[in-house]
Structure 1
Amino acid sequence: MSLDLAALKLKPVPPSAEVLARKAGYRELVPIAFNAALADEPCVEVRSIGVAGDNHYNTPRNPPYYVSVPGSVAELYLRKSVAAKLVEVNARLKALGLELYLFDAWRPQAIQRYFHDVWFPEWLVQRQPHLAGQALVNEVEKYWAAPTAGASSPSPHATGGALDLTLIFSDTRQPLYMGGIFDDLTEEAWTDGFERKDCVSMSDDEARANRRLLYWVMTEAGFANNPTEWWHYSWGDQM
């Protein structure tokens, strides 16, 4: 089925409040089907099947960090069925001269623990010194999921079913403008961020349109979006 670029760029993404309400408690409430047919499927390196990307945590050209994060990996691994769905999305995007570009896929727990327990809490407290205790945890977990807590409660990126991505032009390899960098962990990053504000510039209009395009092309393929991160999508995990 072909994509109607203009229509998708005009179609608003759902309000974040509605999606967050459905997401609440997902790791405790959604059981994992350990005996399902795909439970033991292998992971593949997405670039081996033609999906572009570079592991953002492994390269030192990775704002806002500018360092290869200890414990990161260069590979972009996803479960075979998830990677295959990305190939299908790319096939639909091809006629538009666009394709997907991944920042992250399967993620080691060392990375999850570092950003959940150390880096992001420190960043938040520098800017909001009053944050402490559960209030700090709640703010952290708007963006960084708690590390895996046993087989029945994995962090999303530990499943091989979660990924962070954007859209690029196939010929120039330049990314479409999304209104902010990957891992800008503020409300600017919420998928509906440009739906909830008055777009007063061409840059605002462009970011809103491109987030809509990414949202609809991914969700029409069956992926779920994390509403606090325009770049995060998953398939077949608890989210």
Structure 2
Amino acid sequence: MHLVLMSDPRVAAIPVHECGEPLVDVRDHGFRVDPRKQDPQGAFTHVREGVLARLAHARSLLPAGIDVLFVEGYRPLSLQRRYFTEYRDQLAADHHGWTPEQLHEATSRYVSPPDIAPHSAGAAVDVTLVDQDGHELDLGTRVNASPEESDRACFTHAPNLSDQARHHRAVLLNAMESAGLTNYGTEWWHYSAGDRYDALMRQEPHARYGPIELP
């Protein structure tokens, strides 16, 4: 299966017609929120209004006894730059012979280039599934596992998964896609709507959400 990476020039070529939707806090709408990515300003729990609506719809489509656990939404551009640079530098240290182009593409499997990052537009969510008691279900890897760490089991349709993990991923994927969210194929936990990547995948002429600052 061919994966379109965030580094693909076709993603950056999608124009943004900013719609002006505000960022809203998912904590005000009854979502279970995991604290692992929390920040002092609480930026991580924010998403665009339209993304929240889709996430709420996806949640309603899950089987009884299963719920969404929200891990991260909005990510300030400065933090996105830091994540991208740190991971690129790590790869450069491990692969001395790689060209800048190879490094950029490999980094983009796991961290979006800052200029087109869905998280910095408030358009993306990182989520997993929990049971009714709040215990995380087995989806094969931890949220935010890198391709190196997981032997690429972080890829949504990775072959090296247990039947249980594959089933749980299918449950999540079906609910999120049915609600109008697009998965990034190298990260089973990452979904977005209204950003450049989503627009490309849906063959839409422009994105609705561009980089935004938290008020």
TM class, shorter-length: 0.7 to 0.9
Match of 1:88 in 2: 57
- The verdict on how the C-alpha distance between 1:212 and 1:23 changes in structure 2, with shifts beyond 3 A counting, is farther
Residues 186-234 of structure 1: CA deviation (Å, up to 9, x unaligned) = 022110113xx4x5xxxx1111111111111111111101011001100
- The verdict on how the C-alpha distance between 1:189 and 1:21 changes in structure 2, with shifts beyond 3 A counting, is closer
Alpha-carbon distance in 2 for matches of 1:27, 1:21: 8
Summarize the alignment of residues 49-60 of structure 1 with structure 2, pairs less than 5 Å apart: 49-58=29-38
2:66 aligned partner, one-letter code:
L
- The verdict on how the C-alpha distance between 1:147 and 1:237 changes in structure 2, with shifts beyond 3 A counting, is same
2:121–2:195 CA contact under 8 A, matched in 1: yes
Alpha-carbon distance in 2 for matches of 1:147, 1:115: 9
Summarize the alignment of residues 1-239 of structure 1 with structure 2, pairs less than 5 Å apart: 15=1, 17=2, 19-20=3-4, 24-34=8-18, 39-58=19-38, 73=42, 75-93=44-62, 95-117=63-85, 119-148=86-115, 154-170=116-132, 172-186=133-147, 187-194=152-159, 197=160, 204-239=162-197
Alpha-carbon distance in 1 for matches of 2:139, 2:41: 25
Alignment root-mean-square deviation, CA:
2.3
Residues 128-169 of structure 1: CA deviation (Å, up to 9, x unaligned) = 343352221221111111112xxxxx4211111111111111
- The alignment's TM-score, normalised by the length of structure 2, stands at 0.80
5+ residue gaps, structure 1, are 1-14, 60-70, 149-153
SS in 1 for 2:169: helix
1:192–1:227 CA contact under 8 A, matched in 2: yes
1:55–1:102 CA contact under 8 A, matched in 2: no
1:161–1:237 CA contact under 8 A, matched in 2: yes
Provide the identity percentage: 26
Alpha-carbon distance in 2 for matches of 1:128, 1:23: 19
**Higher relative contact order (Cα pairs below 8 Å, separated by 6+ residues):** 2
Residues 31-74 of structure 1: CA deviation (Å, up to 9, x unaligned) = 2223xxxx112111101101112353337xxxxxxxxxxx8845
- The alignment's TM-score, normalised by the length of structure 1, stands at 0.73
Match of 2:203 in 1: none
2:6–2:108 CA contact under 8 A, matched in 1: no
Q: Which runs of 4+ in 1 moved over 6 A?
A: none
SS in 2 for 1:230: strand
Alpha-carbon distance in 1 for matches of 2:192, 2:129: 16
How far did 1:102 drift? 1.4
> Bigger radius of gyration, 1 or 2?
1
- The verdict on how the C-alpha distance between 1:78 and 1:22 changes in structure 2, with shifts beyond 3 A counting, is closer
